[in-house]
Amino acid sequence: MTRPLRLDAPVVENRDEGGPHRRLRLRVADWPGFEPGQFVMLSPGARSEAERSDPLLPRPMAVYRAEPCDGGALVEILYKVTGRGTTLLAEARAGERVRMVGPLGRPFPAPPPERPVLLVGGGTGIASLFELAARAADAAPVRVLLGARTAADLMGRGDFEALDLEVGLATEDGSAGRRGLVTELLEEALDRQGAASVYACGPTGMMRRAAELAAAQGGSCCHVSLENTMACGFGVCLGCAVPRRPGGFALVCCDGPVFAAEAVAWAGLP
Amino acid sequence: MTRPLRLDAPVVENRDEGGPHRRLRLRVADWPGFEPGQFVMLSPGARSEAERSDPLLPRPMAVYRAEPCDGGALVEILYKVTGRGTTLLAEARAGERVRMVGPLGRPFPAPPPERPVLLVGGGTGIASLFELAARAADAAPVRVLLGARTAADLMGRGDFEALDLEVGLATEDGSAGRRGLVTELLEEALDRQGAASVYACGPTGMMRRAAELAAAQGGSCCHVSLENTMACGFGVCLGCAVPRRPGGFALVCCDGPVFAAEAVAWAGLP
Amino acid sequence: MGGASVSAPGRVDTRVEMGGVTLRNPVLTASGTFGYGAEFAPFFDLRRIGGLVAKSLTLEPRSGNPPARIAETPSGMLNAIGLENVGVDAFVAEKLPALPEGVPVIASVFETEVDRYAEVCKRLTGVPRVSGLELNASCPHVKSGGIEFGQNARLLATLVRAARRASSLPLWVKLSPNVTDVAEMARVCEGEGADAVSLINTLQALDVDLATRRPVLHNVLGGLSGPAIRPVALRMVWQAARAVAIPICGIGGIVTGEDAVKFLLCGARAVQVGTANYLNPLAALEVAQGIERWAGEHGFPRLADLVGRLEASREGSS
Amino acid sequence: MGGASVSAPGRVDTRVEMGGVTLRNPVLTASGTFGYGAEFAPFFDLRRIGGLVAKSLTLEPRSGNPPARIAETPSGMLNAIGLENVGVDAFVAEKLPALPEGVPVIASVFETEVDRYAEVCKRLTGVPRVSGLELNASCPHVKSGGIEFGQNARLLATLVRAARRASSLPLWVKLSPNVTDVAEMARVCEGEGADAVSLINTLQALDVDLATRRPVLHNVLGGLSGPAIRPVALRMVWQAARAVAIPICGIGGIVTGEDAVKFLLCGARAVQVGTANYLNPLAALEVAQGIERWAGEHGFPRLADLVGRLEASREGSS
Ligand SMILES: Cc1cc2nc3c(=O)[nH]c(=O)nc-3n(C[C@H](O)[C@H](O)[C@H](O)COP(=O)(O)OP(=O)(O)OC[C@H]3O[C@@H](n4cnc5c(N)ncnc54)[C@H](O)[C@@H]3O)c2cc1C
Ligand SMILES: Cc1cc2nc3c(=O)[nH]c(=O)nc-3n(C[C@H](O)[C@H](O)[C@H](O)COP(=O)(O)OP(=O)(O)OC[C@H]3O[C@@H](n4cnc5c(N)ncnc54)[C@H](O)[C@@H]3O)c2cc1C
Ligand SMILES: Cc1cc2nc3c(=O)[nH]c(=O)nc-3n(C[C@H](O)[C@H](O)[C@H](O)COP(=O)(O)O)c2cc1C
Ligand SMILES: Cc1cc2nc3c(=O)[nH]c(=O)nc-3n(C[C@H](O)[C@H](O)[C@H](O)COP(=O)(O)O)c2cc1C
Ligand code: FES
Ligand code: FES
């Protein structure tokens, strides 16, 4: 597993992507590389010369992608401004530094070549899938299904469309692609293609439905990436535990965030 | 007394004045005007969209000057970066907003015309004297005596020199004006001029010595502007109390910050 | 999410009956953080908040501690003022008349002996502008008095009994958080006839100035207040609310209307805004407006319906 | 200002003898905030800190509370993990061997009954890598166990006595801050033969999620930690240090070396870094380096000379 770093990374850009979405690019010297589905912990806001202890906890953010850049890498995060931490993160300016710990977490397993790959993303969960899509594209036929309430919420849509693979869209208001839920697209794709490797990240209900559909389609396998509030991100606070099947708890940060769908106790998720 | 405001004032500029010194200019609609020696409470750092409760307390800062500007005023603060709050304040950028409460406090009494006026400033205390100097210049002959460790610490020196009055300088390392203490300049001025209205703001030791010199010079009067940690700035927390002569306590924020030198119990100051 | 039927804030009934005192809305200002009230007149019309609790009063005027009296801490502040106050008689003669009509005033009482407490209560009884009394049995930074009363059940009972005998005014008792079992202290007050309990006062604390290697406060020990203590205050209010039937006034780190709503849900019928008044002289007014807005937006036409409505069953609380 | 004779940090003697355990420097990591240690190996060489206190252990493995287990508060965090742990036997068999040689390990013990506590202590005694025991008598969020022991002097005495009988290892007792008189609890531990006391554990607290109108934590009540509680921790360490002769391990909101120096001045011989480990996996190492730097710059060649040196005389402390 890649060895995580802790550093205060200079902000190269923190761009407005429309609506509540932002694209943050951090320069990270000796970045160890990462696997699809891994994440970093980012402390809210830019680091000031003066210490501030509120807000206290770092925020988990998927590594969207990382481009090599003189020795290190430009690590990219695609995020949505939802509360205090992300509001402060959005105020960080180029040249300022943001504390980062990572890469962390268990990645998505590489899709076996024999089966087609279906990626199902919703909301901010879309960000966790981009690197997987980019890498899987070479190995197996990949279809990306993205869903949101409305077109504007389709985070990173353009990046996926720029990849050499099929992208299906669904919005609840019909403003982009099919009017309806992304899981309806998944259902049709599974009917059409048969057994597939399904990877889902997004709202719990969406992932749960995706898992059911994959299970119903014999020979498919399904992996989901879960979210939970985190304090550390590397397995020491035990704060991110979610119930696992058949029993007990799993830590989202280090047993996950990626789990085989069968191991998830959906009813008990926060 | 001018009625204080509470507002989030837009930063017009927050300029580096060399070394640890900064010049902050805030646009304040319906500024009620102020008297020399009054101050405002500024919350550290720019106000974010997201609330932060650390650091919690606002910082007292003298109103350096205020220029009328469409309806309201541009309120200017000359400050030194010393700790957490002022470090964060120095990071506030044009267009951001800073919370301000004020103007607050009892001002310097206007100098009586019959006597010459001697202003003695040291360190950040210099900022409390500029408006007094500017106004007194019309009424009576004014001499400003500024002291610091070294030339670079002479906050606002150029502004005083631009006024039509005499400016005497003293630095401990001799890098500007007389090598020595500003109170030595005061002593000579009093010897030369006789009774004067003395106004002092700066380190406690300096103000105490100024008060002694004025007392020794029959017919002189001396006012000093004190500092103390404040939570509110308008007399309700009772946190800024300093011992007064003959007994009891005075509140720096509303009984002062300006006090007649005789009323100050120098030994008991924080 | 509580059907967010956005109704105009104006349509919310904010009145509360708080231990014998009727308040326009549930927001008071906490003792020692609002002066004697008049200091805030330049900032807003005091009649727009529920009422104010004045600085604690003693029989004679007291002059308090030498500096330093306050210091900043992470998301909080430390204080050891030493209960400086003008004394009960000057309060009645000079401070009360300076307040606008129509603002309920709760007089806070502090003393070092039971009979002196009782005497201050007597002197305040029958004074037209005094709507009620709050016994400060919980001052964590004065050696004599407060701390022993608020931290010892027997002493607290004696104190409340004496005050109850001394005055017919609505009697609130302000509890110390520096105890093992705050619910027990609340029960003691209820048992002795208190009309309400207010909590919490400051947490006893200390900080060090590394430059001098001395305590930051002259008094060495001080009281911690501000947002930092809010989760402790919410816990104690929740525990007290489950222990007694008399109304509870929630105090501790309240800055916004949302903060205050949390206290109501935990069982407080009214709240007091303290430290926030320093940072923002309009804080109490904004908290009152914020509660009303929240209630309107979340479909609670009567604030009374929010009190104690925390869904605290373990099942599904995650 | 304490003659700031800037001497090279390397010249400071940082060794401390802590209740029968010798530490390279006075910085340990607090139980429950450092996992079983190995998780931090990617970030720094564990032999560079004084030692680690492992996650509290019970007789059998425990699986802890359902989510939500943690939440953020002003300058702090709330937790109700429910003392999830691998159990004492798995700790000895699997976790200890994973740690590098030369890191003193203090095993933290938690149970629901005195004899079970004693049994866990027994099983840890004689295990080569265990340098000492810390009795967690102060867990504020588990109904059974911790809270009663740490909040009741008689129960605490019984517990410490049993643990003392069960093991010859250096015995530290970790105190609860949710008490009226922490000094009394420290005295009880000293009286029953404890070699040191550690304080503070978390402050019992609660926060509300307004979106659901439920407690933020599934467990309803949780423990407050982080910088917000530091002034309360410093106060309690100062009070305990004046009450007992055994060494004290200071805990609560330590983020920097300067924070830690404050604890030493208040009377702690060593400190533990907790919540800060989450925000910054290098926190404990940086605290150790920061203490050494501060001591070097302020002319203290031996850290031992800082312990309890707070100038707390009222005169001139302002
Ligand atoms: C493994 C992982 C990867 C993620 N990747 C992304 C991403 O690439 N882009 C993106 O926009 N978001 C991502 N998220 C969600 C992101 O962490 C939250 O949106 C963020 O923490 C919200 O912080 P806040 O302070 O703005 O919100 P607030 O609601 O103010 O946060 C309050 C507390 O709750 C926590 N919290 C709130 N929502 C979430 C959530 N959904 N997941 C975890 N913790 C939460 C915060 O971290 C904080 O501790 C990811 C979450 C996880 C667990
Ligand atoms: C009436 C008055 C007018 C002032 N005018 C100016 C001015 O025009 N320009 C300027 O540079 N400075 C001025 N000061 C000093 C200024 O308030 C402090 O430098 C500032 O508060 C330091 O804050 P900090 O967070 O950077 O320092 P820190 O040391 O981190 O502050 C910690 C706490 O101590 C308080 N504090 C520290 N030093 C002082 C001090 N000297 N006076 C009051 N509180 C202090 C802070 O407000 C804060 O609450 C004035 C002070 C007073 C009382
Ligand atoms: C500077 C200061 C002075 C205080 N004086 C008193 C007092 O005289 N009587 C009293 O009962 N409480 C006093 N308190 C406690 C507050 O009323 C309140 O209980 C406490 O600060 C917690 O609320 P907060 O966090 O909103 O400030 C004082 C608090 C502060 C900060
Ligand atoms: C998530 C979490 C889990 C904890 N688990 C334990 C534990 O198992 N045993 C224990 O004695 N203390 C436990 N603590 C308390 C810490 O060891 C420490 O006493 C407390 O957090 C105060 O220190 P801090 O402010 O530096 O975190 C835990 C604290 C946190 C935040
Ligand atoms: S976030 Fe700390 S263990 Fe997972
Ligand atoms: S600063 Fe609050 S009374 Fe002076």
DSSP letters along D93-157, please? IIIGGGSPTT--EEEEE--SSHHHHHHHHHHHTT-TTEEEEEEE---TT-TTTHHHHHH-HHHHH
Contacts of D133 (CB under 8 A, 6+ apart): D106, D107, D108, D109, D121, D124, D163, D167, D169, D170, D171, D172
Query: Are B236 and C35 within 8 A, CB to CB?
Result: yes
Cα–Cα distance measured from residue D136 to residue D51, given in angstroms and rounded to the nearest whole number = 17
Task: Report pLDDT for B270.
Answer: 87
The set of residues, in sequence order, having a beta carbon less than 8 Å from that of B7 and lying 6+ positions away, is: B28, B29, B99, B100
- Looking at residue D85, the DSSP 8-state letter turns out to be B
Question: Is the CB of residue A56 below 6 angstroms from any atom belonging to ligand 1?
Answer: no
Work out the burial of residue B110: count CB atoms within 10 Å of its CB; fewer than 13 is exposed, 13-18 middle, 19 or more buried.
Answer: middle
pLDDT for the residue D7: 43
Using an 8 Å CB-CB cutoff, list chain B residues near C87: none
pLDDT of residue B180: 94
Q: Which listed residue (C121, C139, C189, C249) is catalytic?
A: C139
Asked if residue A21 has its Cβ within 6 Å of ligand 1, the reply is: no
Please return the burial class of B235, using the count of CB atoms within 10 Å of its CB with bins 0-12, 13-18 and 19+: middle
Distances (CA, A) of A2 to A33, A105, A199, C38: 7, 10, 22, 63
The 10 Å Cβ neighbour count of residue D62 is 18
For residue D137, which amino acid is it?
A
Cα separation, C72 vs C226, in Å, equals: 10
Which distant-in-sequence residues (6+ apart) come within 8 Å of A205 by Cβ?
none
Check if the beta carbon of residue C151 is closer than 8 Å to that of residue C182: no
- CB contact (8 A) between residue B101 and residue C67: no
Name the token pair of B2.
């001018």
Identify the closest residue of chain A to B52 by CA–CA distance. A54
Average pLDDT, chain A: 94
Inter-chain contacts counted by CB atoms under 8 A, chains C and D: 156
The Cα of B269 is separated from the nearest Cα of chain D by a number of Å equal to 8
Alpha-carbon distance of A227 to A246, in angstroms, equals 20
- Give residue C313's pLDDT band: very low, low, confident or very high (50, 70, 90): low
d(CA C195, CA B186): 63
Place of tokens 């047993």: A255
Task: Identify the closest residue of chain B to D74 by CA–CA distance.
Answer: B53
The complex scores an ipTM of 0.96
Could you tell me the distance, in angstroms and rounded to a whole number, from the CA of residue D38 to the centre of ligand 5? 14
* pLDDT band at B6; cut points 50, 70, 90: very high
Percent of chain A with pLDDT over 70: 100
Residue C251 CA: which ligand is closest? 3
A230 lines ligand 5 (CB under 6 A): yes
Cα–Cα nearest to B59, from B30, B85, B98, B28:
B85
- Is there a contact between D299 and D58 (Cβ–Cβ < 8 Å)? no
CA neighbor of D23 nearest in space, from D282, D272, D299: D272
Q: Which atom of ligand 2 is nearest to the CA of B227?
A: 53
For D159, the enclosing helix (H) or strand (E) is: helix D153-166
DSSP class per residue in C41-64: TTTS-GGGSSEEEPPPB-SS-B--
| Phi, psi dihedral angles at C162 (to 5 degrees) | -65, -40
pLDDT of residue B2: 78
* Residue of D66, D226, D227 lying closest to A243 (CB–CB): D66
pLDDT band for position A270 (50/70/90)? confident
- Identify the helix (H) or strand (E) that includes residue A98: strand A97-104
Contacting residues of D for A268, CB less than 8 Å apart: 66-67
- Hunting for tokens 């202890």 — which residue is that? A53
**Model confidence at D6: pLDDT above 70:** no
Residue-wise pLDDT for D64-86, tens only, equals 999 999 999 999 999 999 889 99
Put simply, whether C9 touches B (Cβ < 8 Å) is no
More confident residue, D148 or A63: A63
pLDDT over 60 (residue D130): yes
Instruction: Pick the closest to residue B257 from B42, B63, B100 (CA basis).
Output: B63
Look at strands A197-201 and A221-225 and give their pairing.
parallel
pLDDT digits (tens, 9 = 90+) for C194-250: 999 999 999 999 999 999 999 999 999 999 999 999 999 999 999 999 999 999 999
Taking alpha carbons only, the member of C73, C40, C72, C67 closest to residue C55 is C40
pLDDT of residue C315: 40
The residue count for chain D? 318
- How near does any CA of chain D get to the CA of B55, in Å? 10
Q: Which two tokens stand for residue B55?
A: 């650091």
Which phi-psi region, left, alpha or beta, contains residue A112 (left: φ > 0; alpha: ψ -120 to 50)? beta
Choose which residue among A61, A106, A230 to substitute to test ligand 5 binding: the one with the highest number of ligand atoms within 8 A of its C-beta.
A230
Q: How far is CA A230 from CA A17, A37, B10, D71, D83, in A?
A: 26, 16, 36, 8, 17
Given CB atoms, is A83 within the 8 Å cutoff of chain B?
yes
H/E run at residue D296: helix D283-297
pLDDT confidence of residue C139: 57
CB-based contact, D202 to chain C, within 8 Å:
no
**Chain B residue closest in CA terms to C35:** B236
Dump pLDDT digits (tens) for B182-231: 999 999 999 998 999 999 999 999 999 999 999 998 888 999 999 999 99
Chain-centroid distance of CA A243 in Å reads 20
Contacts of residue D76, defined as CB under 8 A and 6 or more positions apart, other chains included, come to: A56, C74, C75, C228, C231, D224, D225, D226, D227, D228, D229, D253, D275
Q: How does residue D313 score in pLDDT terms, banded at 50, 70 and 90?
A: low
Q: What is the dihedral of CA C174, C175, C176, C180, to 10 degrees?
A: 180
For ligand 4, the distance from its centroid to the CA atom of residue C36, given in whole angstroms, is 42
| Residue C39 identity | E
User: What are the pLDDT digits (tens) for C116-173?
Assistant: 999 999 999 999 999 999 999 875 444 444 457 899 999 999 999 999 999 999 999 9
Mean pLDDT of chain D: 91
Instruction: Name which of A11, A86, A79 is nearest A39 in CA terms.
Output: A79
Structure tokens at C318: 């995650």
Listed by number, the residues of chain D in 271-310 with a beta carbon closer than 8 Å to a beta carbon of chain C are 294, 309-310
* Residues framing ligand 6 (Cβ under 6 A): B 230-233, 235-240, 251, 253
Mean pLDDT for the stretch of residues D276-297: 97
Contacts of D215 (CB under 8 A, 6+ apart): C310, C312, C317, D206, D207, D208, D209, D221
Query: Active-site residue C139, yes or no?
Result: yes
Query: What residue's CA is closest to ligand 1, atom 34?
Result: A229
Gap between the Cα atoms of B245 and B262, Å rounded:
7
Tell how strand A72-80 and strand A21-28 pair up: antiparallel
What pTM does this model have?
A: 0.96
Distance CA A261, CA A264 (A): 6
Q: Which among C168, C217, C224, C183 is positioned nearest to C201, based on CA atoms?
A: C224
Of D134, D173, D202, D221, best ligand 4 pocket probe by most atoms within 8 Å of the beta carbon: D202
| pLDDT recorded at residue C93 | 96
Whether A52 and B52 lie within 8 Å, measured CB to CB: yes
With contacts defined as CB-CB under 8 Å, which chain C residues touch B264?
Answer: none
Place of tokens 């000359």: B78
Asked if residues B203 and B122 have their Cβ atoms less than 8 Å apart, the reply is yes
How far apart, in whole angstroms, are the C-alpha atoms of residue D317 and residue D304?
23
Q: Are B254 and B235 in contact (CB under 8 A)?
A: yes
Cβ within 8 Å, pair C227-D310: no
- What are the respective helix, strand and coil percentages of chain D, to the nearest 5? 35, 20, 45
* Percent of chain B whose pLDDT exceeds 90: 89
Closest residue to atom 12 of ligand 4, CA basis: D31
Structure-token match 């090599």, residue found: A68
CA-CA distance, A21 to C12, in Å (whole number)? 36
| Residues in Cβ contact with A75 at an 8 Å cutoff, skipping those fewer than 6 apart | A9, A25, A26, A27, A28, A31, A40, A63, A66, A100
Task: Give the Å distance between the CA of A60 and the centre of ligand 1.
Answer: 6
Write down the pLDDT at residue D184: 95
Ligand with minimal distance to B226 CA: 2
Q: Which atom of ligand 3 is nearest to the CA of C202?
A: 20
According to DSSP, the β-strands at A59-62 and C270-273 are: unpaired
Out of D74, D75, D318, closest to residue B270 by CB: D318
Distance between CA atoms of B36 and D275, rounded to whole angstroms? 47
Q: Residue A122: CB partners within 8 Å, gap ≥ 6?
A: A146, A147, A148, A182, A201, A202, A203, A206
CA-based max dimension of chain D? 57
Mean pLDDT for the stretch of residues B79-104: 96
Give yes or no for residue D216 having a pLDDT over 90.
yes
pLDDT digits (tens, 9 = 90+) for C264-284: 999 999 999 999 999 999 999
Cβ neighbourhood burial of B95 (10 Å; 0-12, 13-18, 19+): exposed
Rounded mean pLDDT of chain B? 94
Closest C-alpha among C79, C111, C68, C81 to residue C229: C79
DSSP state of C116: H
Cα(B8)–Cα(B42) distance, integer angstroms: 10
* pLDDT value of position C144: 43
For chain D, percent of residues with pLDDT exceeding 70: 92
pLDDT for C26-46, tens place per residue? 999 999 999 999 999 999 999
Give which of D72, D73, D75 to mutate to test B binding, by max B Cβ within 10 Å: D75
Please report which confidence band the pLDDT of residue A243 belongs to, taking 50, 70 and 90 as the band edges. Answer: very high
Distance B58 CA to ligand 2 centre (A): 9
- Please report the number of interchain residue pairs, chain B to chain D, with beta-carbon separation below 8 angstroms: 7
Q: Which residue's CA lies nearest to atom 19 of ligand 2?
A: B82
Tokens of C92: 């009645």
Q: Give the pLDDT confidence score for residue D312 in this predicted structure.
A: 74
Side-chain-side CA neighbours of D213 within 13 Å: the count stands at 19
Where residue B139 falls among pLDDT bands split at 50, 70, 90? confident
Does B241 sit within 8 Å of C226, measured CB to CB?
no
Q: Does the distance separating the beta carbons of C71 and B238 come in below 8 Å?
A: no
Residue D45 has pLDDT above 80, yes or no: yes
* pLDDT, tens digit, 9 for 90 and up, residues C65-107: 999 999 999 999 999 998 899 999 999 999 999 999 999 999 9
pLDDT beyond 70 at D141: no
How far apart are alpha carbons A201 and A185 in whole angstroms? 15
- What's residue D5's pLDDT? 41
pLDDT at C317: 32
